[in-house]
């Protein structure tokens, strides 16, 4: 599955209506792959697909296992040769547990439902189809914050730490199958993920630069692709966790 040509590939990308998902979808499409983008908002998906003739869309809420199972059925019938799945759907909110009043538990759970449970549902539903291929890739999009958390976004950070752990386990379980398990680990990237914030995060990486680096890692066949500052956090979390925790959360005290 490594290499720069994807003319025979069929790629499904969740969270494909914006940000990293849309950027990866565009690049795979340009390289000749048949691309299906999935997400909750039809208008966003259509806006991306309209720029790439032949790109398909699927409206789905990955947090709903019934919708995910139905999606797997449709994709399996339409694209039985699906060989690349990119679990990219994710949301991020700022939650202050130091506040005097408790938060809405449904709102707290929504982030877990999309970022972690949704990834599990999609993986579970599509693995049988991927395993039918002679060679396939399952790509999970993690985060540098899965290694060093941003205290202001505690649920997001925790879900991405869980995504990393799950990906490591999944890679080991599938080591003797035809499915290669990859984790792309972004730094802060300039995307709509942060549209709820008052200002763009500092040192955010341009989306185009991130996609270029991520694709280079995929072309090289690397199982973990930590891009830019995410690689610094991955290493720093092992070398000096307290120091890097303070660096990431500088100014929150």
Q: Would you name the residues annotated as active-site residues?
A: 156
Please give the DSSP secondary-structure letter assigned to residue 137.
E
**68 in Cβ contact with 60 (< 8 Å):** yes
Asked whether 185 and 167 are in contact (CB, 8 A), the reply is no
**Residue 47, class by beta-carbon neighbours within 10 Å (0-12 exposed, 13-18 middle, 19+ buried)?**
middle
- Please identify which residue in the block is written with the tokens 């890692």: 217
Rounded distance, CA 35 to CA 230, Å? 27
Comparing C-alpha atoms, which of 193, 194, 111 is closest to residue 160? Answer: 111
Burial class (CB in 10 A: 0-12, 13-18, 19+), 96: exposed
Q: Which two tokens stand for residue 43?
A: 């208008």
CA distance 157 to 245: 12
What letter would DSSP give residue 86? E
Q: How many residues does the chain have?
A: 253
CB 149 within 8 A of CB 95: no
> Between β-strands 179-185 and 224-226, what pairing exists: parallel, antiparallel or unpaired?
parallel
């Amino acid at each position: 599955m490594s290499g720069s040509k994807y003319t025979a590939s069929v790629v499904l990308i969740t969270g494909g209506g914006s940000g990293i998902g849309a950027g990866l979808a565009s690049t795979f499409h340009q390289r000749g792959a048949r691309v299906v983008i999935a997400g909750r908002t039809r208008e966003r998906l259509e806006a991306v697909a309209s720029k790439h003739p032949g790109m398909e869309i699927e409206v789905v809420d990955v947090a709903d296992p019934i919708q995910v199972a139905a999606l797997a059925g449709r994709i399996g019938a339409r694209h039985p040769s699906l060989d690349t799945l990119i679990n990219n759907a994710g949301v991020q909110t700022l939650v202050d547990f130091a506040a005097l009043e408790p938060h809405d538990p449904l709102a707290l759970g929504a982030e877990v439902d999309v970022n972690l449970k949704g990834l599990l549902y999609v993986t579970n539903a599509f693995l049988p189809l991927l395993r039918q291929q002679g060679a396939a890739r399952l790509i999970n999009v993690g985060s540098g914050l899965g290694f060093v958390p941003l205290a202001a976004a505690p649920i997001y950070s925790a879900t991405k730490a869980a995504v990393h752990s799950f990906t490591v386990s999944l890679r080991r379980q599938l080591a003797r199958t035809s499915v290669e398990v990859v984790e792309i680990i972004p730094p802060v990237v300039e995307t709509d993920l942060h549209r709820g914030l008052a200002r763009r995060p500092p040192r955010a990486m341009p989306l185009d630069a991130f996609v270029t680096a991520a694709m280079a890692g995929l072309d090289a066949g690397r199982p973990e692709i930590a891009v830019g500052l995410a690689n610094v956090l991955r290493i720093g979390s092992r070398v000096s966790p307290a120091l890097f925790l303070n660096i990431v959360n500088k100014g929150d005290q």
